[in-house]
């Protein structure tokens, strides 16, 4: 495992983060999503973290605000998306460190839960469970085991039953 620094992203690193996202994913969709979220009211600067190795950004994670809606209530939560590490350094635990640091920071900031769409064999190791555990559903058709949540505070998702609503900045 290489020794990386995990810290809050700063504006001078936006292009470096875009380069990480373009390297880690097959299209520019995730890089474009990060840029749209940054320019929205759902962006939380303290929850946009980078992994730095030898003064170079090699990883990034972003948490942003979303809502869960039921018939008569709307509850705020966080979305984790995306998390990325340049291909050369994948498999070294950097993504895991970004996730753990992000969850800790979100807890410190007073958030009580996180929702994500991701690999069902990866995220449970951090405590994520199918969102259906709390009667929370995605707004689109995905396998239930890939749509997950985690409580950062006791009972953080217990009263948030309903359908996740992603802000319009999430749309292509």
Q: Model confidence over 96-118: pLDDT tens digits?
A: 999 999 999 999 999 999 999 99
Q: Model confidence over 46-89: pLDDT tens digits?
A: 999 999 999 999 999 999 999 999 988 999 999 999 999 999 99
pLDDT at 115: 98
Side-chain half-sphere of 124: how many Cα atoms within 13 Å? Answer: 8
DSSP strand pairing (147-151 vs 129-130): antiparallel
- Whether the CB-CB separation of 127 and 113 falls below 8 Å is answered with no
DSSP letter at 170 equals G
pTM of the model: 0.96
- Whether the CB-CB separation of 116 and 148 falls below 8 Å is answered with yes
Residues 6+ apart with CB under 8 A from 133: 149, 157
DSSP letter at 133 equals G
């Amino acid at each position: 495992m290489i020794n990386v620094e995990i810290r809050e992203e700063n504006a001078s690193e936006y292009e470096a983060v875009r380069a990480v996202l373009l390297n880690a994913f097959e299209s520019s969709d995730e890089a474009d999503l990060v840029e749209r979220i940054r320019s929205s009211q759902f962006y939380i600067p303290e929850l946009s973290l980078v992994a730095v190795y030898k003064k170079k950004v090699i990883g990034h994670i972003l948490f942003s605000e979303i809502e869960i809606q039921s018939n008569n209530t709307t509850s705020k939560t966080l979305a984790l998306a995306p998390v990325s590490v340049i291909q050369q350094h994948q498999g070294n635990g950097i993504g895991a460190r970004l996730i753990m640091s992000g969850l800790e920071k979100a807890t410190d900031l007073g958030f009580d839960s996180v929702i994500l769409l991701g690999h069902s064999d990866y995220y449970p190791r951090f405590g994520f469970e199918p969102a259906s555990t709390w009667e929370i559903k995605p707004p689109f058709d995905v396998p239930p085991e890939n749509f997950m949540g985690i409580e950062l505070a006791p009972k953080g998702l217990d009263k948030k039953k309903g359908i996740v609503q992603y802000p319009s900045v999430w749309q292509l």
